[in-house]
Structure 1
Amino acid sequence: MNHILLVEDEPLFRKGLAKMITGSETNWHVCGEAENGQEAEILIAERLPDLVITDIRMPLMDGLELLKRSKAKFPQIEFIVITGFQDFQYAQAALRYGALDLLIKPCGKQDIYDALDKAEIRVLEKQANLRKAETEHALLLENTLRGLLLRFPYRAELAAELEVGLAECKLILFQITDFMPSHKLYMKRDMPLLQFAVLNMIGELLDIYHSDGKLLLIENGQFALLCQDSFEEKLLCEAACETVERLLGLQMSSYCAGAASGVQDLADLYEAGRRKLGSTMVAVEGQNDVQVDKQLSTNRAQQQLISTQTIAFILAGQIESMKLYLAQLMKDIYGLSVENGKVEALSFSFALQDTARKQFELAYDPQLLTERIALLHACSTNDEVSHWTGMELDRFMSSFIAWQEKYSENVVWKAARYMEEHYAEQLPLQLVASQVHLNATYFSHLFKKETGRSFVDYLIELRMEKAKGLLANTDMKITEVSGVVGYDLPNYFAKLFKQTTGLSPKDYRKMVRPDPMSNVRN
């Protein structure tokens, strides 16, 4: 779900706008309100909304100044500026400062919804572009790492970036002896599929052993893993070799080449490790090493991008968009040759499996994986590959539905109890959602459905009830009460208290604790 901050000095208009957005079927949630730019600047830094809707004319700091200052610090945040006809020249300046859209008062529901739709498209595009850029950069770093191991030319700034994370890392090598053992019916064209499967099997084990190592294919049959020096590699190596032989029928050997003090040591370690393992791999005539390396690296990066994008859709509650995204990926696979389609289909499957494990807490099932890879290997037409891919998607969606049903029971009660126990602390929605093992967006929908109030409104009401008790029964200063119930800014606390009770904290205390001397004087 995307978050909006509303900045408007007219309370009725601001509240009406908040109610309109909250009651709509859009993917926007009002995460805060401010009545001037000064308040808004604090809330923007605290809550990092995706969108700010602000009036231009306001006391203390106007909308233009807020736009200029916020865009300088947080360029990713979008702004929609509300103005009157008489301020149109200021609105033109707002566009120059980076506002996404303008709304001219009086503006109707449809005008606001259209502006929100436009903002949502922009936010989603930015998020997708950021994920794509991060994936492309990760692929560039992987190619640089491969270049360091093979003594190929590389860019110094990328090597320097790798140096930060690779100091004192162990280099572990894995080598496939023969891709076409006599007891299997593998052929030369199966090598990309088999190597990609091996790459992901080792990757799955890294997750199981809680290692953040960098794993990559170096040359045909040669894999390298760089992991922290404190990591016990013996168990992983044994498990990897046993898993690959059991699931794929391939013999694989491993060797720990030692720890690198820096990237300059990697090539020497790699070459020493290759000599130790020996040139035992059976050569496959006509196989282009470099081409396979590039293809599988791209597939691996694409797999990680699919997983990240799918999780993003789930966290945003955009399930229909996720289905359309995955359906388009299936369509793209169908347009490839059978052999390339198999590798892409396996990449797609591993991405869904990675998503299910991270998001749905789905256990890794190597036996099921073996059966599925065997079925994919047997595919000989595009239609068969497409059918296999569809089965993988169906399995993923079934896991998603089961996950939703499992954690929707009693989670609101558990979350409310957690909030009751921790109301004095910082309680962002994501933290409370994590306590009941749900993604933030789904939890937010469920919470409002069960309580009739948004998470933010419920938390404010809870804190105000605690504040009322402290004001009525203690002599704590109002600034102290503010801190005890979770607000660092006393003025902000006082504002929320008055919005909730109709009285300032001081007036409320006078009402519930009248001056004892008043009766004496009377």
Structure 2
Amino acid sequence: MTYRILLVDDEAMTKRSLYKILTGANASYRIVGEASDGAEALQIARREQPHLIITDISMPVMDGIELIQRLREDGLDMDIIILSGYGEFEYAQEALRHGVVDYILKPMKQEQVTLLVEKRFDHFMKSRQTAIIKSQLIAPISSAAERIGHELWIANEPGMRKEMRSLSSLLDDTEFMQEERISLLRDAASLISNRLQPQFPHQAWELPYEGQSYGQASESFAAWLDKLLNEIRDKRNWGKRGVIQQAIDYIKTNFADSELNLEKVLAPLGISSTHFYHMLMEETGMSYIAYLTQIRMDHAKELLEHSDLKTYEVGQRCGYPDYPHFTKRFKRQVGLSPSEYRKNMQQA
């Protein structure tokens, strides 16, 4: 892996010394540019995007302090080491306030230069490895967060806890530092919040205070999920949710009954059709007829794709004994006739 370095100093001898020290210290170091003032260095930095800049403070045209300020204004966050003389301590302090990672006192000592650059190179390699591992975790963490959000929304506590364990396992198996694990936990919390919005406005997860360990953050995260679960149960009238689930199970079991109507579904439940309508809308976002039709059409598509039944037989098995009515309803829902749908699936 090449580590790109830009040297900035108005003294040619200093740049030659740095070049010799660094190119001889590590084969991964590559000097991508040399500049004699801040303005020249800024142009090179924009073009070459170095990982490290070693710059003098006192230079003509644009000094090191202004160079650092301009780099940060441009959003360039590479590491910067400053070269400082004994009489430039106040300038060095100002540079450190702008995010400079270290400084080298002039006259330079080879051991100091080598040690400081090696330290930044090691940090760069660890950060790069962390970024690679994190990128590999994005998909599984996103998937786990999506599943947690789903289980929360349907108020399935066992399912939520199972997915929480899956997420914890992902984070526990990494070699990340505590701060990086907490960052990933924040990402998961954000994804869960997005999954629940806008149907369920809620307070986002926040750590009670900074500086917590990963274990403390994990406990706080679990407590937040428990709080969300209880709030969702309260909002959705949890005591009556079992009723709506019974109705849904009944529809899924009996959708092939061509005479399946709302009265049949509600008969064993003891709730009004108006109350049921609101509960079903909250659970599925659909009315009774729309939900029943969706269940029937999904099953019809399965049979058309994976069975040799004639299309009128598919209609009969899905609650449509009248074939023209089945064809009309299927085309309105799917956009194709049953025969066209089957043909498309066979050609796919």
Whether the TM-score (by the shorter chain) exceeds 0.5 is no
Larger-Rg structure: 2
* Normalised TM-score (structure 1): 0.30
* Normalised TM-score (structure 2): 0.43
